[in-house]
Amino acid sequence: MKKDIILAGVGGQGILTIATIIGDAAAEAGLNLKQAEVHGMSQRGGDVQSNLRLSSEPIYSDLIRKGDADLIISMEPMEALRYVGELDKGGCVVTSSQPFKNIPNYPSEEALEAELNALPRCLRQPIEELAKAHSMPKSANIILLGMAAKYIEILSAEQLRESVGRVFASKGEQVIEANLRAFDLGVELVGKE
């Protein structure tokens, strides 16, 4: 079994944390893992993209071939759309529905919504609003990971949840608990779909 994932977003949104959590869970599960270096400007405001490949068999390249990605996990809707051409026909997009308007010619929200609606498999939620409403404003990325857990498939939601605890262990109990709540909220959002 394999899973090829594209992680996308804007610098400062927590894409690298999502990659770290998935990577930790994969290593703990004994899976093979390759991650392409982050492409783009990882500083706050620049676009960020990374390939993450997980498999029970050996992996020979860290790059995902065009049209072979199983899943796009994106913190920003326009960034998700940027990589839709990389998806397999049965691929899925899990993204925030809230734009991060960091360029002057950012598309209208109506145009963005129409493109997202045209995708065969696209889940989106206003994760930043949800994070603030649930008093975990720094955990929107972990809500998104919870939403994507069902579609990662090669790892269970429980394996990912345990990894959240390990990755945030050095930050203290409050940070761990906030991120576990965020992850669970994301899982629940997909359960309602």
Q: How far apart are CA 14 and CA 11, in angstroms?
A: 7
Residue 42 has pLDDT above 80, yes or no: no
Q: How far apart are CA 111 and CA 12, in angstroms?
A: 25
DSSP E strands: which ranges in 75-177?
87-96, 122-125
Report field, pTM of the whole predicted structure over 0.85: yes
Q: How far apart are CA 193 and CA 189, in angstroms?
A: 7
Domain ranges across the chain: 2-191
Predicted local confidence at residue 70, as pLDDT: 97
**Which superfamily does CATH assign the domain made up of 2-191 to?**
Pyruvate-ferredoxin oxidoreductase, PFOR, domain III (3.40.920.10)
Express each pLDDT in 46-98 by its tens digit. 678 889 999 999 999 989 999 999 999 999 999 999 999 999 999 999 999 98
Q: How many helices (H) and strands (E) does the chain have?
A: 7, 7
Predicted local confidence at residue 43, as pLDDT: 52
- Asked if residues 55 and 20 have their Cβ atoms less than 8 Å apart, the reply is no
Question: 191 vs 178, which has greater pLDDT?
Answer: 178
Predicted local confidence at residue 175, as pLDDT: 95
